[in-house]
Amino acid sequence: MGDAYWATFDELRIEGAKYSAVKLLPGTYRIEYGKTWGVSFLVDPRMQVSRSFGATLALDAGRTYKLRADRTYGRGFAMYFWIEDEKGNIVTGIKKP
């Protein structure tokens, strides 16, 4: 599950607090996942921000993938989502610079 608080694989929803990994058969899946960050009151008065990311991805047999998310701090607050393989190669999304 990597950094995801929750994820859906097609229609299967997984809560990150309950599961650290999910095993899927090879194939193409619609993957969506989300993350919540604590932030400054200046960024959001609720002091937290939740965002999600989605992509359709062909998963190969015998490979491991991680759902990743990160954010910047200070001015220009931005969030980044990407999925990487076991070698750290980005499969989809944009990694934090």
The pLDDT assigned to 30 comes to 97
What one-character DSSP code corresponds to residue 20? Answer: S
Asked if residue 23 belongs to a domain, the reply is yes
CA 39 to chain centre: 18
Domain that holds residue 68: 6-93
The pLDDT assigned to 78 comes to 87
Asked if residue 68 belongs to a domain, the reply is yes
- Number of neighbours of residue 24 by Cβ within 10 angstroms: 12
Over residues 13-68, the pLDDT tens digits come to: 998 878 888 999 999 999 999 998 887 777 777 888 889 999 999 999 999 999 99
Asked if residue 1 belongs to a domain, the reply is no
The pLDDT assigned to 40 comes to 78
**Of the candidates 94, 89, 95, which has an alpha carbon nearest to the alpha carbon of residue 63?**
89
pTM: 0.86
The pLDDT assigned to 59 comes to 94
The pLDDT assigned to 38 comes to 84
Cα distance between residue 44 and residue 67, in whole Å = 25
